[in-house]
Amino acid sequence: MSSLLLDLRHAVRVLVKNPTATAVAVFTLALAIGAATAIFSVVYAVVLRPLQYPAPGQLMAVWEVTHHGTYARLAGARASGMRKIGVREPTSSRRRGPASGAAR
């Protein structure tokens, strides 16, 4: 314990002797902590925050495989039949096909 106190006293003495280096170190730490907080806030808002639905684990995306082997949205009678059971179109303008590796 006494060596820890001696090390701390020495560190304080060195920092007091060189205020420019101390200011740079404090500024760098503050900038790094602020940047990490900002990045985490963005990641949380985009990726980690739970979906705002009553049962997000039960959400599904329904796609149709065309005769060319590509994915397409359901159309016509299939789509109207899905709407009858409560399926709604996505409100996002970013529409993508199923995730890679999805079962066909």
Whether 64 is covered by a domain: the verdict is: yes
> What is the C-alpha separation between 41 and 51, in angstroms, rounded?
16
Range of the domain at 25: 2-48
What confidence score (pLDDT) does residue 72 get?
76
Share of residues in the chain with pLDDT > 70 (%): 75
Residues 31 and 10 in one domain: yes
Residues 24-46 pLDDT 10s = 999 999 999 999 999 999 999 88
pTM of the model: 0.48
Whether 33 is covered by a domain: the verdict is: yes
pLDDT at 62 exceeding the cut of 50:
yes
Residues 23 and 8 in one domain: yes
> What is the C-alpha separation between 94 and 74, in angstroms, rounded?
16
Residues 75-89 pLDDT 10s = 666 666 777 776 666
Whether 100 is covered by a domain: the verdict is: no
Residues 6 and 35 in one domain: yes
Q: Which residue has the tokens 């179109």?
A: 89
Q: Three-class SS string for 29-68? A: HHHHHHHHHHHHHHHHHHHHCCCCCCCHHHCCCCCEECCC
Please say whether the beta carbons of 65 and 71 come within 8 A: yes
Once rounded to an integer, what is the mean pLDDT over residues 43-67?
A: 79
Alpha-carbon Rg for the chain, nearest whole angstrom, is 28
